[in-house]
């Protein structure tokens, strides 16, 4: 037919338009695209509809329906960090300098403070204590300890940054902000110990959501953070309403 032969390009544009307009529908397209772009809604739907509610009898549950869920998420991560630094500070790698030992002890106190703060602030809403799994860490090796510290600090920064917009209360948002900048200071310090000048190497942080062109630090959604942190946590963490 004439149309087919003479206007193939136009036809294909129309087909594309038609798919966009009719087959999916404007509003459902927005929802579908929004879900896949943000990677959040599909996960949440998967939790609720496909698998049903997780078994509450095992592990802890982070219910992201409200700010308590976000605070418990932070509490879980602070438990992990504190457990790590308690172990490092109690028996630092032999090659650590006196200054490094002192700063790792400082960081230990900071992380304990964060952990205990969340526990106290959450009160009866707090999740239980997590059991950690540090089998993959060689606590006698400076490179293993520093590498793990960097991973935890950068992940912590990405977690707080990614969770910030989920917080509804200005008070809680500010408290998270008071903590995340301390984590970022830790991260920069540890990074500089590993490689001086890498304190804010945003290209290397791109897998955690950083954007060097915008001068933007890491930010990850809780599902991604927990997938990474899970390697170090024995306790099962159930996530709902994400």
Partner 1 sequence: MNIVNILEEIEKVDGEIYERLNPRRAAMKSFFNIGKKISLAAMPLALGSMFQKAYGQTTLPTAVVDVLNFALSLEYLEYHFYNHALLGTDVTFTYPTAAAKTAITTIRDHEKAHVDLLVGALGSSARAPIAYADTDFRAGGTFATVYTDYNTFLAVAQGFEDTGVRAYKGQAGNLLVSPGVLQTALQIHSVEARHASHIRQMRTAAGTAVYKPWVSLGASGQANDSGVPQVDAVYAGEDLTVQANVNIANITGAPNATAAKLAAVESFDEPLDRASVITIANLFLQPGKKLS
Torsion of CA 177, 233, 94, 144, to 10 degrees: -90
Q: Is 15 in the site for partner 1 (CB under 8 A)?
A: no
CA gap 189, 174 in Å, rounded: 23
Residue 96 binding partner 1, by CB under 8 A: no
Least distance (Å) between residue 2 CB and partner 1: 28
Q: Which stretch binds partner 1 (CB under 8 A): 90-98, 125-133, 134-142, 200-208?
A: 200-208
Among 14, 23, 33, 194, binds partner 1 (CB under 8 A): 33
Residue with tokens 């309403």: 241
Quick one: which segment of 2-10, 48-56, 105-113, 141-149 binds partner 1 (CB under 8 A)? 105-113
Among 10, 48, 178, 231, binds partner 1 (CB under 8 A): 178
Contact call for residue 240 and partner 1 (CB under 8 A): no
Task: Please tell me the distance from the alpha carbon of residue 233 to that of residue 135, in angstroms, as a whole number.
Answer: 10
Q: Which residue stretch of 6-14, 132-140, 201-209, 226-234 sits at the interface with partner 1 (rule: CB under 8 A)?
A: 201-209
| Minimum CB distance to partner 1, residue 154 (Å) | 10
Q: Is 61 helix (H, G, I), strand (E, B) or coil?
A: strand
How far is the C-alpha of 212 from the C-alpha of 204, rounded, in Å? Answer: 9
User: Minimal CA–CA distance to 160: which of 186, 132, 181?
Assistant: 181
Give the integer Cα–Cα distance in Å for 111 and 84. Answer: 9
Question: What residues between 133 and 172 interact with partner 1 by CB under 8 A?
Answer: 157, 160-162, 164-165, 167-168, 170-171
Could you tell me which stretch among 48-56, 141-149, 189-197, 228-236 binds partner 1 (CB under 8 A)?
A: 189-197
Pick the closer one to partner 1 by CB: 46 or 56: 46
CA distance 15 to 208: 38
- Residue of 175, 200, 176 whose CA lies nearest to 189: 200
> Does 126 participate in binding partner 1 (rule CB under 8 A)?
no
């Amino acid at each position: 037919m004439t149309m087919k032969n003479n206007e193939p390009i136009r036809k294909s544009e129309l087909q594309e338009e038609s798919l966009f307009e009719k087959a999916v529908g404007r509003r459902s397209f927005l929802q579908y695209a929004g879900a896949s772009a943000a990677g959040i809604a599909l996960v949440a739907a998967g939790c609720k509809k496909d698998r049903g509610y997780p078994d509450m009898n095992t592990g802890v549950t982070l219910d992201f329906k409200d700010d308590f869920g976000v605070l418990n998420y932070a509490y879980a991560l602070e438990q992990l960090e504190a457990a790590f630094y308690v172990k490092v500070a109690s028996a630092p790698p032999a090659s650590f300098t006196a200054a490094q030992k002192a700063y790792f002890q400082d960081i230990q106190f900071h992380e304990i403070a964060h952990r205990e703060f969340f526990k106290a602030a959450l009160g009866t809403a707090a999740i239980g204590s997590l059991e950690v799994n540090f089998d993959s860490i060689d606590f006698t090796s400076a490179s293993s300890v520093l590498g793990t510290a960097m991973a935890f600090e950068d992940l912590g920064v990405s977690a707080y940054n990614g969770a910030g917009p989920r917080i509804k209360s200005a008070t809680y948002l500010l408290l998270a902000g008071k903590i995340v900048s301390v984590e970022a200071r830790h991260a920069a310090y540890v990074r500089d110990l590993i490689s001086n000048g890498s304190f804010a190497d945003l290209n290397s942080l791109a897998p955690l959501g950083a954007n060097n062109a915008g001068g933007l630090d890491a930010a990850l959604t809780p599902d991604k953070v927990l997938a990474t942190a899970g390697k170090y946590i024995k306790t099962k963490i159930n996530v709902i309403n994400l």
